[in-house]
Amino acid sequence: MALTTESQARRLMARLDALAAFTDDPPRLTRLCLSQSHRRAAEQFIAWAKESGIAARIDPVGNVRARYEGRRPGAPALMIGSHIDTVRDAGRYDGALGALAALSLAEGLAAQGRRLDVALEIVAFGDEEGVRFPYTLTGSRGLAGVNEPEALAQKDAGGVTMRDALKAFGGDPDHLGAARADGVAAFVELHIEQGPVLEAEGRPLGIVSAINGATRLSAVVTGSAGHAGASPMDLRRDALAAAAEMVLAIEARARAEDELVATVGRLDVEPGAVNVIPGRARFTIDIRAPLDEPRRRAVADIAAAMQAIARRRGVRLDELTPTHEAAGYVCHPAIVAGLAAAVVAVGADPRLLPSGAGHDTMVMGQRWPAGMLFVRCKGGVSHNPAESISADDCAIALAALTRFAEDFRAA
């Protein structure tokens, strides 16, 4: 029986609810890369695909991959998808919406017995958020053939290497090259906006023009632990106080330049006792901007400011190590134009806007023409349980994605 866009959207929304049950930390949604809950979510994704006769599998790098053939077997493919890993205490739409929408598109065609001029390659990436391991986007890097083998040696907070986690998940760390995709004509990702622009303007959809580049660093500040009552203030080498001043310097540098943002998202203190002066502080830094050169200047300025603070306070900046580097990406003009035409075809205005968040698209665009379609989200909230989209917006997004695929022609 053929499915309507509305019925597809209802099923898609129900599946998003169902996928949210796969979590490492119930009742909160936390589905970290290569975790047990990620594995269960991947197995459920594969089961849903098989219900429509679409073969799916886990590839060597931990992505779920499926293919719906075109009119001609072996035809070039339009690859569509997003990620199914999450941050801690996440919402249920970031990433999962785009991965399940890609499957829904193929299922709709299968229900009608239709084939397109291109095949559809469906992908549910496994490592977009970068929460469990410092080096991230290994799923899309694997498909694009730009993964770095040393990523397998990195460890999570529990000391588990990515190699071991990938092997336990069902991937193949000894043959990552086999994940490289060929015969792909373009890549498109549907994603919630993660910002307030579309809602503020009353628009259900937006077309992404460019994606911010990002630098992530790990910092370690070492001072001297001591008794909280017996150490005079002027003789202390407080690692946390120094780190706190560094955090404010990072914030000040980001505030000084338009479109530059910087965040310290995690800070750990040792020994962590109420009556002990902190001897060591570890923290993360995330710096983003749409243009690469301003971001690189900011990274250099922040490093210099942190060193100056360390010297003045008598502590050491023992580590300032890059853990992630992603260049900004300008979406391919042909994909932007095709998405804009699809948005018009479903009765919406084609609003172009940049993405402040990073996405797998920026890696896929290193090898193929790539672009993104944004869906309005309530309050612009993301990475939060309050993350929300409407069923109507889900339906129009799915309709636009379907129209894009129907009209797409491989170059």
Q: Using CA atoms in the order 383, 384, 388, 393, what is the torsion angle rounded to 10 degrees?
A: -10
Query: What is the C-alpha separation between 385 and 387, in angstroms, rounded?
Result: 5
Contact at 8 Å (CB) between 335 and 80? no
Whole-number CA gyration radius for the chain: 23
Phi/psi zone of residue 74: left (φ > 0), alpha (ψ -120 to 50 degrees), beta? Answer: left
Place of tokens 């760390």: 173
Residues 6+ apart with CB under 8 A from 27: none
Query: What is the C-alpha separation between 15 and 38, in angstroms, rounded?
Result: 15
Contact at 8 Å (CB) between 152 and 110? no
Domain residue ranges in the chain? 5-211+328-407, 213-326
Q: Which of 188, 150, 194, 189 is nearest to 288 (CA)?
A: 194
Query: What is the pLDDT tens value at each position of the chain, 411 positions in all?
Result: 456 788 999 999 999 999 999 999 999 999 999 999 999 999 999 999 999 999 999 999 999 999 999 999 899 999 999 999 999 999 999 999 999 999 999 999 999 999 999 999 999 999 999 899 988 899 999 999 998 888 999 999 999 999 999 999 999 999 999 999 999 999 999 999 999 999 999 999 999 999 999 999 999 999 999 999 999 999 999 999 999 999 999 999 999 998 899 999 999 999 999 999 999 999 999 999 988 999 999 999 999 999 999 999 999 999 999 988 888 899 999 999 999 999 999 999 999 998 988 899 999 999 999 999 999 999 999 999 999 999 999 999 999 999 999 999 998
Query: What is the C-alpha separation between 279 and 266, in angstroms, rounded?
Result: 17
Residue type, 195: G
Contact at 8 Å (CB) between 215 and 338? no
pLDDT of residue 3: 63
If DSSP codes are grouped into helix, strand and coil, which group holds residue 324? strand
If DSSP codes are grouped into helix, strand and coil, which group holds residue 15? helix
Place of tokens 């549907």: 190
CATH topology of domain 213-326: Alpha-Beta Plaits (3.30.70)
Q: For residue 271, is the peptide bond before it cis, meaning its omega torsion is within 30 degrees of 0?
A: yes
Q: Which of 204, 179, 215 is nearest to 63 (CA)?
A: 179
Residue type, 100: L
Contact at 8 Å (CB) between 367 and 186? no
* Phi/psi at 77 (5° precision): -110, 140
DSSP element (H, E) containing 98: helix 96-112
Place of tokens 């898609």: 12
If DSSP codes are grouped into helix, strand and coil, which group holds residue 321? strand
CATH for 5-211+328-407? 3.40.630.10
Distance between the two ends of the chain, CA-based, in angstroms? 33
